[in-house]
Structure 1
Amino acid sequence: MKTTINSGSIGWESPSNIALIKYWGKKGNQLPCNPSISMSLKNSLSRTLLHYEPKTKENALRFLFEGKRQVLFEQRICKFFESLSDQFNFLNDYQFSISSENTFPHSAGIASSASAMSSLALCLCSMEEEISGKQLSSDDFYKKASLVARLGSGSASRSVYGGFVAWGESPSFSKSSDEYAASFSQYIHPVFQDFQDAILLVSSKQKEVSSSVGHELMKNHPYAMARFSQANVHFERMLGVLRSGDLNDFIQIMENEALSLHGLMMNSTPSYTLLEPNTLELIERIRSFRSSNNIPVGFTLDAGPNIHLMYPKSVGEKVLPFIESQLSHFLEDGRFIMDEKGDGPRKIKI
């Protein structure tokens, strides 16, 4: 593709997502060992601004996070850009100034790499359209952005879409692919349209093991094949549950997935225990509240101690007092973040 050398600025905001069916273990070039399903959030966003101009110096990339230069992440993005030569053959002709900020606090149990890398991927796809003068169809644009985001962070592939999103090839979903994610939102039952996520902050400490290290642990894990088989079964069941609106099955599968993830880490070599005593106390209280009041509220966790409390908006007036009265004193400074299903990324007017 012949490019017109010019300069410009682009901005995108993109959400974090919470996985309901967990992606844990990868193969090849950032490809998943099992399919996953997530819900994109509404309020937990990364906003990324990218300015590009013709290259005039060797050090051709500068990255600021919330106004401060981040040299380590700068190096990560440089390697990321180098890996994208097959996707964008113009990158070496430009120098970049990138600034990013999050609407959520660091170490809050919210996947910042998903929102950050998806917003950056969307900026690059928009840049390609600007300098080439050619626009992709909306479907092709988001597919490419999802693929590019995946190369930066696997779960970022799902943040390119709003609502409920599947990633990973499966015969259960004809649009599914290992290369990019696909929206499942057009198939979901109305009960999931306004689903809520209260993020309970047990600890803001930096997690003991990065997701990249965690994925590597699956390569020699004694239960790896059983896990991938389980995930495929859960994936197919969750697609059915999202269509039917069966909240009991939704909660059972979601919670089993969360605890399977942590069980895998505890059984790995080396072993990691990321749950904290207060996490376990919260889980027992959530289960007791659900059973005693017949209210469809369930939990999931990422690779850390913080809990995502999931429930339909219709029961929110009962869940919020429960959080405040029975859960908040087990949280760090009583903190929790209210979020919900979101509609996906948005281009920022500059």
Structure 2
Amino acid sequence: MSTVATQRNVEVEVPVNIALIKYWGKKDEDHIIPVNNSVSLNIDELFARTYVQCSYYDSMDSVSINNVTVDLTRNPRFLRCFDDYKASDMFAELCTFVQYARQLIQGHAMLYDSAGIVSKPQLSFQVSSTTNFPVGAGLASSAAGFAAIAFGIGKMFDLTMNEVSSLARIGSGSACRSVFGGLVEWEAGSEPSGADSFAKQLTSDKSWPELRAVVIVLDESEKKVSSSEGMRRSMDTSELLPYRAKEIVPNRIERLCEAFKAHDFEEFARITMADSNQFHAICLDTSPPLKYMSEASWQVVHAVEEFNSRGQIRAGYTFDAGPNACVFLQNEDVVPFLLQLSNYLTLPPTTMEDIENIAHVDIKEKANLCNAKNIVISGVGASPKVISNYD
């Protein structure tokens, strides 16, 4: 009887996803079960490239993100002795994730000795991940990272996509959406164990090729209140949160999906902006209030409103739990919108040069404007992909 290799390796690339209908609040913290369904799109040009190695009978686990290493063999209680809540919280999530991954793939990783006796090996994971976007600044960085690890493990052990999505969810809730391309819905499910809480792909990854996302990075620093902590506060104190989850979200998802499939941009943008606004209203309805958007964020809102005041809705903004913006447009409207945005923000020099060359205009810099650190123009809906498989 054949034996399996003592080591498996894969390198994958998984995009960030941006929620159009937001996930905010867990009805079960242990199983990462959300209070409502959510819908998202992957941003093609923002991704985590991740190398995953699985070894048998090696006791050392390690995770490195952008060259910062977390040693998973250390006791998380030890880290909590330090005044760094965010680090200990992330460490606990990583430990839970690896434990769940081991349980999930045991049936796919049997070893046989010379007598044909089956055994379940001790598995260890070594993960090295790099991102091309700021981590912890409200760009769903943890989602891309955990989705990449789950996707890599899935490829190594032939997991179903439901299993991959569930595994990603254990690391970071919204990560379960990044493992699919196209328009994606994360279903909260009804099982207490979370067995039916995973994402599903609603459209193909190329279903709206003219759609663009303009990601406007306004602040690259980590937010003061993490998404996990913010959700806990909102679940405990916001009266608006349960009303939205029960009365607003189901119909809003139905309308958004219909608009997307019909390429009805005005309705798509209108619903996306409404849900972003309501999400941040919940943050302000939380005690103490959560203020994720900055003055620069509001300048993006003003630019979009001005751009849309000329007869039809041609741009739609959304903000996750952070100051950075994502503005959806159709391809033909990207440059006109950036020209409009230059009246509200100081754009990066390279962006200014590109606009001037394409539009044949000379943009005059204005004083006392907030600065955009970076602007990324991207297609949407890309699927994760395997870069290299070393088996």
Structure 2 counterpart of 1:211, from 221, 224, 227: 227
Give the distance between the partners of 2:243 and 2:196, measured in 1 at CA. Answer: 20
* Residues 249-299 of structure 1 deviation map (CA, whole Å, 9 limit, x = unaligned): 212111111111111111112221122122222211210122136461110
Does residue 1:160 correspond to 2:162, yes or no? no
Give the distance between the partners of 1:297 and 1:80, measured in 2 at CA. Answer: 38
Does residue 1:120 correspond to 2:137, yes or no? no
Does residue 1:348 correspond to 2:387, yes or no? yes
Match in the other structure for 1:148? 167
Q: How far 1:328 moved relative to its partner?
A: 3.0
Does residue 1:339 correspond to 2:355, yes or no? no
Deviates more, 1:301-310 or 1:271-280: 271-280
Question: In structure 1, the residue corresponding to 2:104 is in which secondary structure?
Answer: coil
Q: How far 1:331 moved relative to its partner?
A: 4.7
Gaps of 5+ in 1: 130-135, 171-176
Q: Which has the higher helix share?
A: 1
Q: How far 1:242 moved relative to its partner?
A: 1.3
Q: How far 1:317 moved relative to its partner?
A: 3.3
Match in the other structure for 1:102? 131
**TM alignment of 1:11-50, pairs within 5 A:** 11-28=11-28, 29-50=31-52
Q: TM-score under structure 1 normalisation?
A: 0.85
Question: In structure 2, the residue corresponding to 1:88 is in which secondary structure?
Answer: helix
Give the distance between the partners of 1:187 and 1:327, measured in 2 at CA. Answer: 32
Confirm or deny: 8 A CA contact 2:233 2:287 kept in the other structure.
yes
Match in the other structure for 2:249? 231
Confirm or deny: 8 A CA contact 1:37 1:165 kept in the other structure.
yes
Q: How far 1:310 moved relative to its partner?
A: 0.8
Match in the other structure for 1:62? 62
Structure 1 counterpart of 2:291, from 268, 273, 285: 273
Give the distance between the partners of 2:339 and 2:154, measured in 1 at CA. Answer: 44
Relative to structure 1, the CA distance from residue 187 to residue 11 in structure 2 (aligned partners, 3 Å threshold; closer, same or farther) is closer
Q: How far 1:61 moved relative to its partner?
A: 0.6
Deviates more, 1:66-75 or 1:232-241: 66-75
Confirm or deny: 8 A CA contact 1:44 1:110 kept in the other structure.
no
Which amino acid counterpart does residue 80 of structure 1 have in structure 2?
A: F
Give the distance between the partners of 1:85 and 1:46, measured in 2 at CA. Answer: 22
Which amino acid counterpart does residue 37 of structure 2 have in structure 1?
A: P
Match in the other structure for 2:115? none
Confirm or deny: 8 A CA contact 2:307 2:314 kept in the other structure.
no
Deviates more, 1:266-275 or 1:148-157: 266-275
Question: In structure 2, the residue corresponding to 1:70 is in which secondary structure?
Answer: strand
Give the distance between the partners of 2:43 and 2:299, measured in 1 at CA. Answer: 26
Which amino acid counterpart does residue 115 of structure 1 have in structure 2?
A: A
Confirm or deny: 8 A CA contact 1:109 1:201 kept in the other structure.
no
Which amino acid counterpart does residue 26 of structure 1 have in structure 2?
A: K
Confirm or deny: 8 A CA contact 1:194 1:341 kept in the other structure.
no
* Residues 220-253 of structure 1 deviation map (CA, whole Å, 9 limit, x = unaligned): 3212321112112211111121122222221211
Give the distance between the partners of 1:333 and 1:237, measured in 2 at CA. Answer: 32
Structure 1 counterpart of 2:327, from 300, 309, 316: 309
Does residue 1:285 correspond to 2:303, yes or no? yes
Confirm or deny: 8 A CA contact 2:266 2:312 kept in the other structure.
no
Question: In structure 2, the residue corresponding to 1:273 is in which secondary structure?
Answer: coil
Confirm or deny: 8 A CA contact 1:41 1:340 kept in the other structure.
yes
Gaps of 5+ in 2: 72-86, 110-119, 190-194, 348-368
Match in the other structure for 1:4? 4
Deviates more, 1:79-88 or 1:23-32: 79-88
Which amino acid counterpart does residue 204 of structure 1 have in structure 2?
A: E
Give the distance between the partners of 2:68 and 2:171, measured in 1 at CA. Answer: 21
Question: In structure 1, the residue corresponding to 2:143 is in which secondary structure?
Answer: helix
| Aligned residues: CA RMSD | 2.6
Q: How far 1:3 moved relative to its partner?
A: 7.5
Q: How far 1:65 moved relative to its partner?
A: 2.1
Confirm or deny: 8 A CA contact 1:198 1:309 kept in the other structure.
yes
Question: In structure 2, the residue corresponding to 1:262 is in which secondary structure?
Answer: helix
Deviates more, 1:215-224 or 1:302-311: 215-224
Does residue 1:82 correspond to 2:121, yes or no? no
Deviates more, 1:177-186 or 1:241-250: 177-186
Relative to structure 1, the CA distance from residue 187 to residue 94 in structure 2 (aligned partners, 3 Å threshold; closer, same or farther) is closer
Which amino acid counterpart does residue 41 of structure 1 have in structure 2?
A: I
Confirm or deny: 8 A CA contact 2:64 2:127 kept in the other structure.
yes
For the pair shown, the structure with the greater C-alpha radius of gyration is 2
Deviates more, 1:264-273 or 1:331-340: 331-340
Percent identity between the two aligned chains: 25
